[in-house]
Structure 1
Amino acid sequence: MGVKVRTFGIVFDSEGVSSYSSGDVVSGQVLLELSDELKLAALRLEAKGCARVNWSDNLAASSAVTGTVAPRYREEVVYLQHQQTLRQPTGDQGCFITLQPGKHEFPFSFHLPQGPLVTSFNGKYGSVKYWVTAILERPCVPNQIVKREFSVTSQIDVNAPNFLSSVSKSKEKTVGCWFFTSGPISISAKIERSGFCNGEAIPIYAEFENCSSRLIVPKAAIFQTQTYLANEKTKTFRQMVANVRGNHVASGSTESWNGKALKIPPVNPSILDCCIVRVEYSLAVYVHIPGSKKLLLELPIVIGTIPYNCFGSRTSSVCSQFSMDMSWLRLALPEQPEAPPNYADVVTEEDLARQFPSLPQTDNLQHEFGSPIFAYIQEFRFQPPPVYSEVDPNPTFTEEMRREVSFEI
């Protein structure tokens, strides 16, 4: 008999999506291409996601001598378990379904759990993986299986308050040999926040002081630490993922880094919510000392997935400052505005008692002086303003008409 199954594979609807998150829908089709008709018992789909660790102690030398087997440490934690049947015979079809030659598509869809899912990861002694398996069951033939992995990312927002606070440390070391010391070397380092994302540059603020007789070289590096736990045992793997160096610091000199940039390469986000696999990062600022151990201090950092929003942080800061300033303004202002004082309260009695000459008629002024009256408007400059009142003493024509006219229906 010829080969009946030409193609058996899995295609996701969102092939362009690099990763899924908690609560997302994973959907796609199982593709089946046949060269001849095929009797099908069932077509099932399984989705699984789990964290696994696996390592053994390095006892090869002793094992060869004693004949003992090195112990292995294994552990597994399941985060996703889903099963569904895509095709199976019904009651009137008997035990099998006959599929005709050609292409067949069987759609599938399922939701990822709403709870926290650990980010996909492949490390030295363990991994976190998610995959979909399609199982083709046929009579008198071994099951045919196809597997397809997909990536899951646990979202970490670096704008969280616990990632926005600055981190700083200082350390000092005296360099010498036996009873002869040449002086201390000190480091002070600071970063303005501890949360970053891939592609960002970490601004490093550091001060290096060399009071020894040796030439030192300041450096900085990002380290990834993988920690695996199984059977109450711990296995650690540490590697450098990025580094930068500064200028040599001569004896009796200092070196300052005012925001020296160290770019983060594409690395796996931090994994902090798995009980058997942890991925942590740190920024190490250190000096290389010839003939002596390096002087090193480490600042913990977190590699997240939601980028830092500088504008949002500044806006919140400005808003909080503005609110504080407005609170002082409310204390300074009265609850209700006061009426202006009476003119008589601010003018002396002599000014009030001053007599102003009576003004002649307009016709006499124009006849006597031969000029219009506005030329002598200055005579009114000593007139006091009217007394303050909430009722307008000189209503407009429109207001008078409203008072006099009434409408009857």
Structure 2
Amino acid sequence: MVDFRKSRPHPPFYSNGICVERASALKFLGLHLNGDLTWRTDTATLIKKTQQRFHFLHSLAKELLVSVDTLHPCVVCQLHCSGKDSSTEEVLIAEQFFIIIMQQVKNFSVEYNPIDKNNVFTSGDYIAGRITFDVTQDCKIGSLWIKMKGKANVKWTEHYGKTVVVYHNKEKYFSIKTFVIQDGEGNNIVTQGCHMYPFTFQIPQQDLPSSFKGSWGKIKYTLEANLSRSMRLDSKAKTHFTVVHKGSRDPAFMVPQRSIIDKKMNLFSSGTVSMEVTIAKTCFLQGEGMKVVAYIQNRSSRGVRPKYCLYKKYSYFAKSKRRVETKNILKEVGESIPPFTGHTVIRFITIPLATCASIFNCNIIKAEYRLKVYLDVKYASDPEIKFPVIILPALQGSDEEHLPTNPEFEANSKMGATYFMQEPTASLPRF
């Protein structure tokens, strides 16, 4: 309780018959409050903490075998021109030392070797690469490790009035961590110069979904390297690599798809239109041409025009909720069919190479595709037919070029690894 009355002295204050103790100072929420409502105690405490921090710098400067002549020229100029005392000189030496130790490890990076001309991997492949960094002067490494992991995560928000609900879910497939340099084992001193540490991992032989990135979710596979040193910030580097799921060419997906629709015209036109559409199969490769055969019977009083649309349908799942993302990939328009005529129209639609492969073996992300064939009828609803389409990755080259090989392992013989792998999930789509 704070008493703002100006009367002196203040009479004792009683609560439930007990006299409340009077204090000259009080610490509340990190602030030191004085009885006279001044900041003297709080200011003195902050100054004391600051002096304790600077004492560490002074001690560090005294222990260093660093003279003014070894400092950076700008620091030497600052010392001589400003005429600073010895304590200031020690602080500047300590600051210069921190600059030096923070720059001991530079250009820390991790990279991998492409496995083929497409630079894509599948389950069971070996991925080899290297960790590289430059050392400006001899230093001791606490540990150096490399981790390969694969995971999927989704996240989106929904607004219910003034309430914002965040939907988030994740799925972890594997995590493999290998130590190149382990703390407490052997001589961990690295000399000045450029250093390279090779590594090799085998991607687990399990039913992994293809790499994916959508509006509210992604499936990614990464290589992460970390170098730790005592009393320093860790040096970190990360790179992504692409994994594709080859999929299964089930015979059921290689048979033709066929559908028929009839529609009666109303309002501004009369008669009927019918359309019978056939596509060769369900599974297609990226970049492959899709042959669409449509027999159109126009018995109406207006001309109709066939149109084609290939679109994606991505689904994200979290907290028993589903978020759907749809977007057209390509659209094509055919020639007009005159009234009271019938034509067979053949169209070849090429699936773009950049299209993501279909995903059915992930529990939180699903990537599907549809081919919509419809007739553009003026002043009437358009009759349409939709076919499910499965897109498989187009891995160029023969299978021999992509066989998993185990390159010679050149890294430190003391490397150890920890593993986490998820059980495979069912992957056959159902329509």
Q: TM-score, normalised by structure 1?
A: 0.68
Distance of aligned partners of 1:17 and 1:199 in 2 relative to their CA distance in 1, 3 Å threshold = closer
Deviation at residue 307 of structure 1 after TM alignment: 8.0
Residue by residue over 1:212-253, the C-alpha shift from the partner in whole angstroms, topping out at 9 and shown as x without a partner, is 223321111211111111111111111121222111122222
Cα deviation, residue 207, structure 1: 1.3
The verdict on how the C-alpha distance between 1:50 and 1:38 changes in structure 2, with shifts beyond 3 A counting, is same
Q: Distance in 1 between matches of 2:279 and 2:325?
A: 25
Of all paired residues, the percent bearing the same amino acid is: 24
CA deviations 1:328-366 (Å, max 9, x no partner) are xxxxxxxxxxxxxxxxxxxxxxxxxxxxxxxxxxxxxxx
User: Do 2:217 and 2:365's aligned partners in 1 also have CA atoms closer than 8 Å?
Assistant: yes
> CA separation in 1, counterparts of 2:276 and 2:357?
27
> How far apart, in 1, do the equivalents of 2:285 and 2:244 lie?
13
Equivalent positions of 1:6-405 (< 5 A) are 6-14=106-114, 18-59=119-160, 62-63=161-162, 68=163, 70-91=164-185, 93=187, 97-158=188-249, 160-177=250-267, 182-257=270-345, 259-266=346-353, 267-305=355-393
Contact 2:287 2:394 in 1 (8 A): no
Is the CA contact (8 Å cut-off) linking 1:157 and 1:306 kept in structure 2?
no
How many angstroms does 1:181 deviate by? Answer: 6.3
Cα distance change, pair 246–196 in 1 and its aligned pair in 2 (3 A): same
Q: Give 1:255 deviation, angstroms.
A: 2.7
Rg comparison, structure with higher value: 1
Report the CA distance between 1:47 and its aligned residue: 1.4
Aligned residues: 294
Q: Which runs of 5+ in 2 are unaligned?
A: 1-98, 397-431
Residue 124 of structure 1: SS of its match in structure 2?
Answer: coil
Whether contact under 8 Å (2:286, 2:394) holds in the other structure is no
By relative contact order (CA 8 Å, sep 6+), the higher-ranking structure is: 2
- C-alpha distance after superposition, 1:301-348 (max 9, x if no partner): 21113689xxxxxxxxxxxxxxxxxxxxxxxxxxxxxxxxxxxxxxxx
Query: Deviations 1:240-281 (Å, cap 9, x if unpaired)?
Result: 212221111222222311x32111111111111111111111
Q: Distance in 1 between matches of 2:106 and 2:265?
A: 72
Amino acid at match of 1:252: F
Q: Distance in 2 between matches of 1:168 and 1:17?
A: 34
> What is the identity, as a one-letter code, of the residue corresponding to 1:11?
E
Q: What is the alpha-carbon distance in structure 1 between the residues aligned to residue 220 and residue 182 of structure 2?
A: 29
- Please report the RMSD computed on the Cα atoms of aligned residues, expressed in angstroms: 2.0
Task: Assess, with a 3 A threshold, how the Cα gap between structure 1 residues 183 and 144 changes in structure 2: closer, same or farther.
Answer: same
Structure 2 length as normaliser, TM-score? 0.65
